[in-house]
Amino acid sequence: MSRLVQAPPKFLHQEWQLSNHSQYHKAEVQRSQSEQLILESQRLVKEIERSTRLSQKDVNKKLDQRIEDIKFWKKELESKLEETVNEIEVMLTYKTRLEKAIESCKEPMNVAQQCLLEREKRVGIDLVHDDLERELIKETEVIQGVSALLQRTLEQTNEQIRLNRSIKYYLEKDLENKFNAQKIDEDCAVLTNNTPEIHYSNSIVKPVKCPVTPGDWEEFSNANILKSDKEKKSSLALRALIDNLLQQTASDMRKQQLDVNRALQVRIQETKNTKDKLEEHLGKVMEQIRAQETSIDLLKKAITEKEGPIKVAQTRMETRLLRPNVELCHDPAHYRLIREVQEISTNVDRLEETLVRAEAELRGLVRSQLSLEEDIQVKANTLYIDEVLCAQMRSSVAINTF
């Protein structure tokens, strides 16, 4: 039993002292390390506190700068949006002017075509391809050309309005995004360490799929502004074109209208002069007809009046044949009666021949009368078409500059 229980080993005094010194040293080292850690912790706390304040201050500064950048671009975008909206309104006004100008082409075209149609109702020799008809045809061609040109310009205007509205949409979208971004950054800027709404968020550690650099951000808005400037420049050029086009087309139509009206008046006056001359000749023919009829009556009377003398002469010759015997001689009286009958017969033949010629001439004069009357009627019909129908229709046509 005494062998199983052994007394603990005993250390030397030197070992005891060495052990105590070792404990002193360990405690001193541990205390020194702890003091250093405490000092380092205090320094680190101050350093981190300072760094955090500086970082937060820098973030606030960056947010303020970002807000100012957003405000700057918002102001630029708002200015361009206002210009674009105004340009759209102006272009809509120009569109209305073009539509009115196109609509105003219809009446002159209808009148010109109606004049051409009415003038097809001229008859006889008056159905002529004259200067007036050529000017009317030219007028329809001018109006058709003007209308087609205005229609193409209207299509360009509609396309420009569409482009302006498109850039307006992008500017509004960009402004909306800027407004939301400014509101978010302003909300972030007013946050402090004591704000109740602050909280931890794990979503910030997630990587952004499509990062946008500040350069990209500025370039996006700048591109919208450049597009706005480009479309405004295009709109200004198109408006200048429309102004010149409306002036020029109205001037061209007015010039052609004056040319047609001038040709119409010349043709009316020419027809009137011709009709007057025809009527003058008709008067002379009628007068000649009356004179010829009087001459025919005179010839007929003269022929009738010769019946008595020839009957007397023939009766005398017949009666003298009853003389008896030797008294039935060819004396001077007998020969004179023969010559008288011959003279009267010859004169009657001459009168009848002249009568035939006079009656033929009368028939010719009557034919001339009918021809002149018909031609005068043709001229009257032409004057009615040109002076009454066409002139009245054209008097209501007004070429306006829109």
pLDDT at 123 (0 to 100): 93
pLDDT at 32 (0 to 100): 87
Whole-number Å distance between alpha carbons of 392 and 386: 9
Whole-number Å distance between alpha carbons of 367 and 297: 20
Q: Do 268 and 379 contact (CB within 8 A), yes or no?
A: no
CATH 1.20.1260 fits 45-191+214-269, yes or no: yes
- The better pLDDT of the pair 258, 334 is held by 258
Query: 3-state SS of 268-306?
Result: HHHHHHHHHHHHHHHHHHHHHHHHHHHHHHHHHHHHHHC
Whole-number Å distance between alpha carbons of 55 and 66: 16
For the chain, what percent of residues have pLDDT higher than 90? Answer: 60
Closest Cα partner for 78 from 185, 200, 182? Answer: 182
Q: Do 271 and 386 contact (CB within 8 A), yes or no?
A: yes
pLDDT at 307 (0 to 100): 85
pLDDT at 189 (0 to 100): 86
Q: Which two tokens stand for residue 218?
A: 């500025």
pLDDT at 331 (0 to 100): 83
Mean of all residue pLDDT scores within the chain? 90
Whole-number Å distance between alpha carbons of 109 and 138: 11
Q: Do 263 and 131 contact (CB within 8 A), yes or no?
A: yes
Whole-number Å distance between alpha carbons of 41 and 28: 19
Inform me whether the pLDDT recorded for 5 exceeds 80. Answer: no
Inform me whether the pLDDT recorded for 162 exceeds 90. Answer: yes
DSSP letters of 215-261? HHHHHHHHHHHHHHHHHHHHHHHHHHHHHHHHHHHHHHHHHHHHHHH
What's at 372, amino acid-wise?
L
- pLDDT tens digit sequence for 41-91: 888 888 888 888 888 889 889 989 999 999 999 999 999 999 999 999 999
Where does the pLDDT of residue 1 fall: very low under 50, low under 70, confident under 90, or very high at 90 and above? very low
Pick from 19-23, 68-72, 76-80, 367-371: least confident: 19-23
pLDDT at 203 (0 to 100): 63
Q: Do 95 and 223 contact (CB within 8 A), yes or no?
A: no
Whole-number Å distance between alpha carbons of 138 and 25: 123
Closest Cα partner for 352 from 304, 400, 288, 401? Answer: 304
Inform me whether the pLDDT recorded for 272 exceeds 80. Answer: yes
Q: What is the DSSP-derived secondary structure letter of residue 388?
A: I
DSSP letters of 340-365? HHHHHHHHHHHHHHHHHHHHHHHHHH
pLDDT at 333 (0 to 100): 84
Where does the pLDDT of residue 153 fall: very low under 50, low under 70, confident under 90, or very high at 90 and above? very high
Give me the mean pLDDT over the 99-128 stretch: 94
Going by C-beta distance under 8 Å and a sequence separation of 6 or more, which residues neighbour residue 281?
372
Closest Cα partner for 267 from 126, 374, 143? Answer: 126
Give me the mean pLDDT over the 126-132 stretch: 92
Inform me whether the pLDDT recorded for 3 exceeds 70. Answer: no
DSSP letters of 53-68? HHHHHHHHHHHHHHHH
- Cβ density class 309-347: b for 16+ within 10 Å, e for less: ebeebeebeeeeeeeeeeeeeeeeebeebeebbeebeee
At how many degrees (to 10) do helices 307-320 and 214-305 cross?
30
Element (H, E) at 392: helix 391-395
For the chain, what percent of residues have pLDDT higher than 70? Answer: 96
pLDDT at 401 (0 to 100): 84
- The better pLDDT of the pair 337, 4 is held by 337
- The better pLDDT of the pair 377, 12 is held by 377
- pLDDT tens digit sequence for 309-342: 888 888 888 888 888 887 778 888 888 888 988 9
Backbone dihedral region of 387: left (phi > 0), alpha (psi from -120 to 50 degrees) or beta? alpha
pLDDT at 4 (0 to 100): 57
Q: Do 355 and 299 contact (CB within 8 A), yes or no?
A: yes
- Give me the residue spans of the domains in the chain: 45-191+214-269, 280-395
Q: Which two tokens stand for residue 72?
A: 């700057």
The length of the chain, given as a count of residues: 402
pLDDT at 29 (0 to 100): 87
pLDDT at 290 (0 to 100): 94
- pLDDT tens digit sequence for 189-230: 888 888 887 777 776 655 556 678 888 899 999 999 999 999
Closest Cα partner for 58 from 70, 66, 46? Answer: 66
H-helix segments, 190-213 = none
pLDDT at 61 (0 to 100): 92
Q: Do 302 and 350 contact (CB within 8 A), yes or no?
A: no
pLDDT at 305 (0 to 100): 87
